[in-house]
Structure 1
């Protein structure tokens, strides 16, 4: 028996704002979209164009508040081939929420405050 990663999910409050963030900040592109027949939800799958793993953004029509992310330190991690240029972009965008200079990594926060770890390519294992 073998299991493979398929996708991770983040629920979002503003789908357009989130899509813009992931496109502008991380270069992720929409690869699939599912809209409920009754309009109650939209699922958008984003890909990096390299791996088959996707990020599913879920928008719920009747959700009327920010999501409570609690104290759990879950996050996505993405590697980047030009760490310094990525850091410069994210600093300009004002989305860096935590830096660990001793480890050579940093985190950015999306519009719903989900954290994404940015790693230089050589650190990924």
Structure 2
């Protein structure tokens, strides 16, 4: 029996704001979308265009408050080929929420406060 990663899910309050963030911050683009027949939810799968792994953003029509992320100890991690350029880009966006200079990494947060770890290439 062999398992392979398929996707991760983040529930989002404002789908359009999240789509804009993920494209601007990480270059992730919509790969596919599923809209419930009754309009109660929308699933959007974002791709990096290189791997099969996707990030599923789930928007729920009847959800009206920020998601409780607890201690927010879970996160996604992405490698980047030009770490310094990415850092400056995210600094300009104002989305860096934590830095660990000793480890050579930092985290950004999305509009719903999910954390994304940014690593230099070949450190993942």
Q: Please indicate, yes or no, whether the TM-score normalized by the shorter chain is above 0.5.
A: yes
Give unmatched runs, 5+ long, in structure 1.
none
- Rounded to whole Å, the distance in 1 between the matches of 2:72 and 2:111 is 18
Identify the range of structure 1 (65-74 vs 20-29) with the bigger mean alpha-carbon deviation.
65-74
Give unmatched runs, 5+ long, in structure 2.
none
Give the superposed CA RMSD. Answer: 0.5
Deviation string 1:2-37 (CA, Å, 9 cap, x unpaired) is 000000000000000000000000000000000000
Aligned to 1:82: 82
Q: Give the secondary-structure state (helix, strand or coil) at the position aligned to 2:122.
A: helix
Normalised by the length of structure 2, the TM-score is 0.99
How many residues end up aligned between the 2 structures? 124
Runs of 4+ aligned residues of structure 1 deviating over 4 Å after TM superposition are none
Q: Give the secondary-structure state (helix, strand or coil) at the position aligned to 1:122.
A: coil
Matched, 1:55 2:58: no
- Rounded to whole Å, the distance in 2 between the matches of 1:32 and 1:55 is 11
Aligned to 2:98: 98
- Rounded to whole Å, the distance in 1 between the matches of 2:27 and 2:42 is 21
Normalised by the length of structure 1, the TM-score is 0.98
* 1:72 Cα offset (Å): 4.2
- Rounded to whole Å, the distance in 2 between the matches of 1:72 and 1:98 is 12
